Amino acid sequence: MEYFLTDEQKMIKELAKKIAEEKIMPVRAEYDEKEEFPWDVVKTLAQSDLFGVYIPEEYGGMGFGIFELCLAIEELSRVCGGIALAYAGTALGTFPILLFGNEQQKKKYLPLIASGEKIAGFAVTESEAGSDITTLNTTARKEGDCYVLNGTKQWITNGGEAEIYVVIAATDKTKGARGLTAFIVEKGMQGFKFGKKEKKLGIRASATRELVFEDCCVSAENVLGKEGIGFVIALKNFDASRPGVAAQALGIAQGAFEAALEYAHQRKQFGQPISSFQAVQHMLADMAVQIEAARALIYQTAKMIDYGVKDYSANSAMCKLFASEVAMKVTTDAIQIFGGYGYMKEYPVEKMFRDAKITQIYEGTNQMQRSFIAHNLIKNISKKNR
């Protein structure tokens, strides 16, 4: 689909690809094995200005949009979905400030993120609040000019490594969804510490950690939007970020497909490359079709958002749902094409298979995406028939 990209978009795509192949590929297995956060790669991404792709120029960014962000995430994830998540997870923590921050907040935080000097995270999930975030137990009590936060967030991407977090907490538990508020919390604030670092099946180079708040005083100046709209901020954030998850899934699928195609061309059985067998050809054909269909849906959704289409929630859910299903199918088939070798850690498709699984789970499970899409369809037809 490169034929319709502008010169600037091609430059972003090629830059991300170059970093992925030259800086990430040689170390991806090591970071996966050691479960270390890839700070050296993050520094390279910062030096390349890629962290500022989707941030307006007045705040130190490049002034592009979600489409360009997806191009970068796709290329980085094609080589390593885990390392790419340091980049993509920062966008998840930045969108709430972009969408709901006041001018003072934007000027304070966005230039730091755009330069890559500081990375970000988004904290909503808790042990008893996953898909249903209206049941959050983390509270924020107003005391004078600050809010006192107490509670624990779970499974936070970039947890412990990021220095800027957007945290959703309950300011009035009696109001349910209308009682949630979003706060910008900085690493080092008194009463804010980090808990358990998770050991994961995949994306092991990404830091996934608990955030613990014990009488953490956050200035009222750090409230995003206003008190009581934290639920709306969380929903709007996920609407904007799900194309990025889809791009991550797409990149993983593309990487697995390329590896399987090359292997099928080289591997010989019965005196000929296995790519000459119809069974393998059909698998490769299906993989290619699914990847291109996912790419078209992601690119369309990202363009819708950048063009200012008001209602893109269902499309955002669709592209995340479809691309993550494709990633799981393609990586599974890639292992099958590799045969026994595909099951071994020395070949990349084993890792891609593990990395792909989380894309079906985080930022809303695929079951929740299906429910949301169906609800949206039924709501629209009800409006039409009134």
CA distance 245 to 359: 7
In a shared domain, residues 27 and 139? no
CA distance 135 to 154: 14
The CATH number covering residue 339 comes to 1.20.140.10
In a shared domain, residues 288 and 197? no
User: What pLDDT is stored for residue 384 in this prediction?
Assistant: 78
* Structural domains counted in the chain: 3
Instruction: Report the pLDDT averaged over residues 153-175.
Output: 97
In a shared domain, residues 310 and 330? yes
Calculate the average pLDDT of the chain.
97
In a shared domain, residues 156 and 100? no
Confidence of residue 1 (pLDDT cuts 50, 70, 90): low
37: exposed, middle or buried (Cβ count in 10 Å: 0-12, 13-18, 19+)? buried
161: Cα within 13 Å, side-chain hemisphere: 24
The 10s digit of each residue's pLDDT in 11-35 is: 999 999 999 999 999 999 999 999 9
Q: Which domain holds residue 280?
A: 231-381
The CATH number covering residue 216 comes to 2.40.110.10
The CATH number covering residue 105 comes to 1.10.540.10
pLDDT of 103 higher than 90: yes
Is 386 within a domain? no
Instruction: Give, in order, the Cα–Cα distances in Å from 238 to each of 60, 200, 269, 313, 315.
Output: 24, 23, 47, 9, 12
**22 is known as an active-site residue:** no
Q: Which of 175, 209, 228 is the last residue of a domain?
A: 228
pTM of the predicted model as reported, rounded to 2 decimal places: 0.97
Residue with tokens 């009222």: 220
User: What pLDDT is stored for residue 131 in this prediction?
Assistant: 87
Is 357 within a domain? yes
Confidence of residue 252 (pLDDT cuts 50, 70, 90): very high
The 10s digit of each residue's pLDDT in 201-210 is: 999 999 999 9
In a shared domain, residues 251 and 348? yes
